[in-house]
């Protein structure tokens, strides 16, 4: 994303970030909006052709996902400063690229998570809804990111014209898919967190043990479902950020060898991203097809009298009323 001089005051930064996002929707950006919209619509069709989601709600969450770039704009100087600090702190190129990718991945996934938590969680009926709407949020984020990226490469005189469509294709397939499955997997864990109590009770019924949850409950005297909920959110963020970091690492290494004029090595790192992305796609489709993810937990949550395993939960974890 292009650099922008932001005022030190947070309010001014926020206003500048909002202005920048809204400024994307002008005549100059129309061709890039069209190019970025095509893959977004294709991905929506792929994941939604068998879904019966509310179209208006889906559109609203997609738009909300577009605004997930605002925290990136607001704190981009701090992000750049941390990245520069990592480069100065570690002389090893590989370690620097890996840590930078992890930091950026965690930041971006947190921004998208905040959007879906603020806009979509009240509409979740099951875990599958959390996955689907997290994907929509990711598509909105990736759409804005691609509009800015496409504009930047078209304006870059150092990029050969023959490479334009390569970058467009790669961003449309590679980077968008990365955002989709990283956020979708985070959505899976967030969906579990949203329905922590009935999910935990189902798992206990199946005979599964949660030793970490039990010990945290005993130490902090928190309800087991509260510990379980926070544990799943943290687990989802770590996994999503790590997946994001792996992709950024592969791209960073490819760019590094491109910069030192070693095209063969650069292609190897670039091609290594293909099986990673394919694997992420199949993992996400597996989560979407899991039967337990389609169970209507909202109905259970809205009918507390159906929590027939409450006493068992109390016995195992020593819950306090």
Q: Residue 136's closest CA among 33, 37, 53, 65?
A: 65
In this predicted structure, the answer to whether residue 259 has a pLDDT above a threshold of 60 is yes
User: Looking at residue 318, what is its pLDDT?
Assistant: 45
Above pLDDT 70, what percent of the chain?
Answer: 79
In this predicted structure, the answer to whether residue 64 has a pLDDT above a threshold of 70 is yes
Q: How does residue 266 score in pLDDT terms, banded at 50, 70 and 90?
A: confident
8 Å CB contact between 193 and 297: no
Q: Residue 188's closest CA among 262, 51, 286?
A: 286
Q: What is the DSSP string of 67-98?
A: GGGHHHHHTHHHHHHHHHHHHHH---HHHHHH
For helices 224-259 and 176-194, give the axis angle rounded to 10 degrees. Answer: 170
User: Looking at residue 178, what is its pLDDT?
Assistant: 93
Q: What is the pLDDT of residues 161-214, one digit of tens each?
A: 767 787 788 888 888 999 999 999 999 999 999 988 888 887 777 766 665 566
**208-221 as b/e, with b when 16 or more CB fall inside 10 Å?**
eebeebeebbeeee
Q: Report helix, strand or coil for 318.
A: coil
Rounded Cα distance between 114 and 121, Å, is 11
Is 0.85 topped by the overall pTM? Answer: no
Q: What is the pLDDT of residues 91-138, one digit of tens each?
A: 677 787 888 788 888 889 999 999 898 887 778 888 998 999 999 999
User: Looking at residue 215, what is its pLDDT?
Assistant: 56
Instruction: For the chain, count helices (H), then strands (E).
Output: 15, 0
Q: What is the pLDDT of residues 231-258, one digit of tens each?
A: 899 999 999 999 999 998 888 888 878 7
Per mean pLDDT, which of 3-7, 81-85, 177-181 is the most reliable?
177-181
Task: For residue 319, count other CB atoms closer than 10 A to its CB.
Answer: 17
Domain ranges of the chain: 10-317
């Amino acid at each position: 994303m292009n650099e922008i001089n932001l005022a030190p005051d947070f309010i001014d930064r926020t206003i500048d970030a909002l202005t920048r996002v809204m400024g994307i929707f002008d005549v100059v950006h129309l061709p890039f909006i069209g190019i970025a919209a095509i893959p977004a619509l294709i991905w929506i069709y792929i994941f939604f052709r068998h879904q019966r989601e509310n179209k208006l709600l889906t559109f609203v969450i997609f738009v909300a996902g577009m605004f997930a770039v605002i925290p990136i704009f607001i704190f981009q100087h701090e992000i750049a400063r941390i990245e520069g600090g990592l480069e100065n702190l570690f002389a090893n190129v590989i370690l620097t690229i890996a840590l930078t990718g992890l930091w950026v991945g965690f930041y971006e996934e947190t921004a998208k998570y905040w959007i879906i938590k603020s806009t979509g969680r009240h509409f979740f009926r099951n875990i599958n809804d959390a996955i689907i709407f997290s994907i929509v949020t990711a598509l909105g984020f990736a759409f804005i990111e691609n509009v800015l990226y496409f504009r930047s490469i078209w304006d870059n005189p150092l990029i050969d014209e023959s490479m334009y469509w390569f970058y467009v294709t790669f961003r449309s397939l590679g980077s968008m898919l990365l955002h989709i499955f990283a956020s979708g997997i985070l959505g899976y864990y967030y969906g579990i967190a949203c329905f922590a109590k009935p999910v935990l009770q189902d798992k206990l019924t199946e005979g599964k043990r949660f030793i970490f949850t039990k010990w945290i409950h005993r130490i902090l005297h928190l309800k087991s479902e509260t510990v379980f909920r926070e544990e799943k959110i943290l687990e989802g963020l770590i996994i999503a950020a790590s997946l994001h970091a792996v992709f950024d690492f592969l791209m960073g290494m490819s760019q590094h060898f491109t910069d030192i004029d070693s095209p063969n090595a650069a292609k190897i790192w670039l091609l290594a991203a293909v099986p990673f992305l394919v694997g992420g796609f199949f993992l996400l489709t597996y989560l979407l097809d899991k039967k337990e993810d389609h169970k209507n937990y909202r109905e259970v949550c809205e009918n507390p009298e159906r929590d027939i395993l409450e006493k068992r939960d109390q016995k195992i974890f020593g819950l306090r009323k």
